């Protein structure tokens, strides 16, 4: 893939500096506030709504994907396993404790609950997690290519970069562990040969991050088809980083994120 003469620095490299760690990419304050004001029934209705949207937007097929939100008291509301996430009813959802043990619900919880819980443990600012198999972004994940090049200004402002986690078998603790090094600094991660996981201050933000990843993957694919990637210069990325700081830094939470 030929490049223009501009910088070849990846956004991941650019953002991997000590001073940016913990000061950006933190979920929005407004989202956190709205999340905390909702009742359990409203959270159930929202998961059903965004499950439908994931399916209608072709970000999942058949029984793919899972969604969860943080409730109070160390509890988490999650989608059931092996069911179309586009056809759920609020009562199909399952509540688990922080160890993944079911505390409410007639169905079995998602096979990926360990991955969701790892993100909640390491990101106290996160209240919602979405996992999907968007075709273009998952194609990148299957090709072993991270979405971390400075190709689009909007992506640098919203997500920073989208790294690629190593492959591990779906539904295993190893898969959750493969994400562990990336979770603290990223709201969207490609999972090699599998799919994408996103998170946010509330379910709307986590869902929109998923849409953004797939949209960016399509744009990146077009640059591959055209055979040319004209990446932004370091100076331009720097300015975008300032914008990101301006719009995201007000909701800064402690850099000392939760650890296992």
Residues in contact with ligand 13P by CB under 6 A are: 63-66, 79, 81-82, 110-112, 131, 170
Q: Measured from the CB atom, is 1 or 87 closer to ligand 13P? A: 87
CA-to-CA dists, residue 87 to 62, 82, 92, 121, angstroms: 10, 11, 10, 29
Dist. CA 222–CA 45, nearest whole Å:
36
The candidate with the shortest Cα–Cα distance to 248, out of 125, 87, 114, 110, is: 125
Q: What one-character DSSP code corresponds to residue 184?
A: T
Q: Measured from the CB atom, is 118 or 152 closer to ligand 13P? A: 118
* In the complex, minimum distance from the CB of residue 85 to ligand 13P, in angstroms, rounded to a whole number: 8
Dist. CA 96–CA 102, nearest whole Å:
4
Q: Measured from the CB atom, is 79 or 257 closer to ligand 13P? A: 79
Residue reference for tokens 């600012």: 125
Q: Measured from the CB atom, is 64 or 148 closer to ligand 13P? A: 64
* In the complex, minimum distance from the CB of residue 113 to ligand 13P, in angstroms, rounded to a whole number: 8
Dist. CA 38–CA 129, nearest whole Å:
16
* In the complex, minimum distance from the CB of residue 60 to ligand 13P, in angstroms, rounded to a whole number: 7
* In the complex, minimum distance from the CB of residue 82 to ligand 13P, in angstroms, rounded to a whole number: 5
């Amino acid at each position: 893939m030929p490049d223009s003469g501009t910088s070849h620095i990846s956004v991941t490299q650019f953002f991997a500096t000590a001073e940016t760690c913990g000061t950006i990419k933190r979920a929005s304050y407004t989202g956190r506030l709205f999340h905390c004001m909702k009742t359990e029934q409203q959270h159930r209705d929202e998961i059903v709504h965004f499950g439908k949207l994931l399916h209608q937007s072709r970000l999942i097929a058949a029984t793919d994907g899972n969604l969860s939100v943080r409730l109070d008291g160390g509890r988490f509301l999650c989608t059931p396993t092996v069911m179309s996430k586009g056809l759920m009813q609020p009562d199909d959802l399952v509540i688990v404790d922080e160890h993944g043990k079911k505390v409410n619900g007639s169905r079995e919880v998602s096979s990926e609950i360990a991955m969701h819980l790892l993100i909640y443990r390491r990101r106290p600012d996160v209240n919602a997690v979405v996992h999907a198999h968007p075709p273009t972004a998952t194609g990148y994940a299957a090709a072993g290519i991270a979405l971390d090049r400075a190709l689009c200004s909007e992506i640098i402002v919203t997500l920073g970069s989208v790294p690629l986690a190593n492959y591990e078998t779906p539904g295993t603790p190893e898969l959750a562990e493969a994400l562990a090094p990336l979770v603290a600094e990223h709201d969207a991660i490609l999972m090699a040969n599998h799919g994408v996981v996103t998170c946010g201050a509330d379910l709307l933000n986590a869902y929109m991050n998923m849409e953004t990843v797939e949209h960016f993957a399509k744009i990146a694919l077009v640059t591959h088809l055209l055979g040319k990637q004209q990446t932004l210069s370091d100076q331009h990325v720097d300015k975008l980083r300032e914008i990101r700081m301006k719009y995201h830094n007000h909701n800064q939470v402690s850099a000392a994120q939760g650890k296992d």
